[in-house]
Amino acid sequence: MPEIAGMARAYRRMTIHHRKKMMTNIMEKSDSLFMNTYGRFPAVMVEGKGCVLKDDTGKEYLDFVSGIAVCSLGHCHPAVTEAIVAQAGKLVHVSNLYYTLPQTELAELLVAHSFADRVFLANSGAEVNEGAIKLARKHGGPGRYEIISLEGSFHGRTLATMAATGQAKFHKGFEPLPEGFVHAPFGDLAALGKMISAKTCGILCEPLQGEGGVRPLPQEYLQGIRELCDRHGLVLIFDEVQVGMGRTGTLFAYEHFGIEPDIMTLAKALGNGLPIGAMLARQEVAASFSPGDHASTFGGNPVACAAAVTVMKTMLADGFLAAVNRKGEYLAGRLQGLAEQFPDLATGVRGMGLIQGLVLTSRGASLGADMIKSLFGKGVLANFAGGVALRFIPPLVVSESQIDEMVDRLHDVLGAL
Ligand SMILES: *Cc1c(COP(=O)(O)O)cnc(C)c1O
């Protein structure tokens, strides 16, 4: 340990020039070690607190990405850190051959505050979507295996969830795709209805497409999808991996629509950064799984569950979700102001709560990636979603003054184009 303290002291004494050099070394080393799957920004992040991240050179960033809607309570939320540390000192892993307290407490909270009666815990969004696909097939019975999902959707990177994803760019080079997935054109209920056959077991959709460009499903469309499922005995699966857990201003996005699914998947913000996913279902559907049908070694890990319990309790505390709605409206209003100021770049704003997209014109969209790069240079993190919108998904604890600061810097970026 004294060596580490010594290294930290030596690091603090380094000049910015040396730190920058060290950062370049880390980036070069990473690029030579890892498979080339990520296009990264040139920053080595070392610390985070609330909505602010700090890199290796001491530069600060206002974080409107939140690790892709993951750190919703902000970086290193003290109560979450405390829960993680306390649980790590007690019990880290035992497998699902035994019962543990944190996962039972988490399941109890999820069931008490959702439509669902039963829970399955796993480690990521793709993994719980795989579970949902398996459950829908098992529930459908022999010969009913096809899932209809929507164009523009995103459901994950495993083979099945990639096949469910309704964007061709994710499929290229990985054919043949697993069988049993078809995609309906977005917003066209009649076309969706025509795709239902004796093979169909379920419809999978995001109430608001996040990766697809911050695109909420119209109310009547979602209502129509629910009715199609009821009429044909299909399970309706909501992928709330990105928009669940308070992001839209309600604990789950489906609450806005007043439409309940039969299965719902959660992941990103559930553990505020610890890897955890949950698949929830109504009892009648969940009953189609028997022991041995599905499992996960790490799923329901006590440390991840202890973090998730704290996330749930924090979000359910008085005033938390009301503040998300208030700040979401404020963010949307400020972005709308920019859209009006720069009509050649942006057409408007869409989103719910604290997932908001500045929708770009075709000229704007051709510059979307550059806008994000310039923002990064000015110390603001955001991303460009679906090739159509700048997406803003700050920690839900963001303040109005941080929103103002981000909008001011975005104003400068747009003004320079
Ligand atoms: C991120 C995401 C996933 C995939 O989650 P991973 O944890 O990356 O596997 C699935 N669905 C939606 C809607 C997502 O946003």
The CA distances from residue 346 to 100, 361, 374, 376, in Å, are: 50, 5, 16, 19
Query: How high is the pLDDT of residue 220?
Result: 98
Decide: 48 in ligand 1 pocket, CB within 6 A. no
Residues 303 and 341 in one domain: no
Atom of ligand 1 nearest to the CA of 157: 9
Same domain, 53 and 155: no
Q: Is 152 in the pocket of ligand 1 (CB under 6 A)?
A: no
CB–CB of 117/149 below 8 Å?
Answer: no
What are the b/e assignments for 90-104, b being 16+ CB within 10 Å? eeeeeeeeeebebbe
- The vertex-218 CA angle with 214 and 222, nearest 5°, equals 110
DSSP 3-state assignment of 26?
A: helix
Whether residue 236 lies inside any domain: the answer is yes
Give yes or no for residue 211 CB within 6 A of ligand 1: yes
Phi, psi of 348 (to 5 degrees): 165, -165
Query: What is the 241 CA–ligand 1 centroid distance (Å)?
Result: 6
Atom of ligand 1 nearest to the CA of 275: 7
> Is residue 2 in some structural domain?
no
Instruction: Pick the atom of ligand 1 nearest to 240's CA.
Output: 13
Query: Does the residue 182 lie in any domain?
Result: yes
User: What CATH number does residue 251 fall under?
Assistant: 3.40.640.10
**Same domain for 278 and 362?**
no
CB of residue 69 inside a 6 A radius of ligand 1: no
Tokens representing 12? 């603090």
Q: How far is the C-alpha of 308 from the C-alpha of 375, rounded, in Å?
A: 31
Is 84 a member of any domain?
A: no
Ranges of H-type helices in 41-144: 66-69, 78-88, 101-112, 125-140
Is residue 154 domain-shared with residue 226, that is, in the same domain? yes
Residue written as token pair 């770009």: 360
Alpha helices in 141-200 (DSSP H): 159-164, 189-195
Report the chain's C-alpha Rg in angstroms.
22
Q: What pLDDT does 11 receive? A: 67
* Residue 86 within any structural domain of the chain: no
By three-state DSSP, how is residue 351 classified?
Answer: strand
Strand ranges across the sheet with 389-392: 346-352, 355-360, 389-392, 383-385
Q: Which residues of 331-342 are buried (b: 16+ CB within 10 A; e: fewer)?
A: bbebbeebbeeb
Same domain, 151 and 172: yes
**236 in the same domain as 334:** no
* DSSP label at residue 180: S
* pLDDT at site 1: 46
Q: Is 212 in the pocket of ligand 1 (CB under 6 A)?
A: no
Quick one: pLDDT at residue 5?
65
Adjacent-strand bridge partners of 208? 216
Cα 148 to ligand 1 centre (Å): 18
By most ligand atoms within 8 Å of CB, the mutation choice from 268, 270, 391, 393 for ligand 1 is 268
> Distance between CA 124 and CA 279 in Å, rounded?
10
Does ligand 1 lie within 6 Å of residue 262's CB atom?
Answer: no
Q: Residues 87-96: contacts with CB within 8 Å, 24+ apart?
A: 87/302, 87/303, 87/305, 87/306, 87/307, 88/303, 90/302, 91/302, 92/301, 92/302, 92/303, 93/298, 93/301, 93/302, 93/303, 94/302, 95/297, 96/295, 96/296, 96/297, 96/299, 96/300
Token pair belonging to 303: 């440390």
Domain membership of residue 13 (yes or no) is no
List the pLDDT tens digit at each of the 417 positions of the chain: 456 666 667 767 777 777 777 778 899 999 999 999 999 999 999 999 999 999 999 999 999 999 999 999 999 999 999 999 999 999 999 999 999 999 999 999 999 999 999 999 999 999 999 999 999 999 999 999 999 999 999 999 999 999 999 999 999 999 999 999 999 999 999 999 999 999 999 999 999 999 999 999 999 999 999 999 999 999 999 999 999 999 999 999 999 999 999 999 999 999 999 999 999 999 999 999 999 999 999 999 999 999 999 999 999 999 999 999 999 999 999 999 999 999 999 999 999 999 999 999 999 999 999 999 999 999 999 999 999 999 999 999 999 999 999 999 999 999 999
For residue 128 the two structure tokens come to 């719980």
* Closest to 48 in 3D by CA, of 273, 362, 310: 273
Asked if the structure places residue 9 within a domain, the reply is no
The domain total for the chain is 2
Ligand 1 pocket member 156 (CB < 6 A) = yes
pLDDT at position 8: 67
Same domain, 119 and 73: no
Quick one: 184 and 244 in the same domain?
yes
Residue ID of nearest Cα to ligand 1 atom 11 = 155
pTM equals: 0.95
Of 316, 335, 354, the residue at which a domain comes to its end is 316
299 is a domain residue: yes
CA of 77 to the centre of ligand 1 (A): 22
Strand partners, 392: 356
Ligand 1 center to 210 CA (angstroms): 10
Kindly state whether residues 298 and 181 are assigned to the same domain.
yes
Which tokens sit at 312? Answer: 């749930």
Specify whether 393 is located in the same domain as 298.
Answer: no
Q: The tokens of 104 are what? A: 């039972």
153 lines ligand 1 (CB under 6 A): no
CB of 154 within 6 A of ligand 1: the answer is yes
Q: How far is the CA of 274 from the centre of ligand 1 (A)?
A: 14
Query: Rounded to an integer, what is the distance from CA 20 to the centroid of its chain?
Result: 31
Distance 242 CA to ligand 1 centre (A): 7
Q: Select from 316, 333, 354 the last residue of a domain.
A: 316
Q: Which of 275, 296, 316 is the last residue of a domain?
A: 316
Which CATH number do you get for residue 53? 3.90.1150.10
- Indicate if 138 and 231 belong to the same structural domain: yes
Domain of residue 380 covers 18-77+319-416
Could you tell me if 264 and 359 lie in one domain?
no
Nearest CA, atom 6, ligand 1: 125
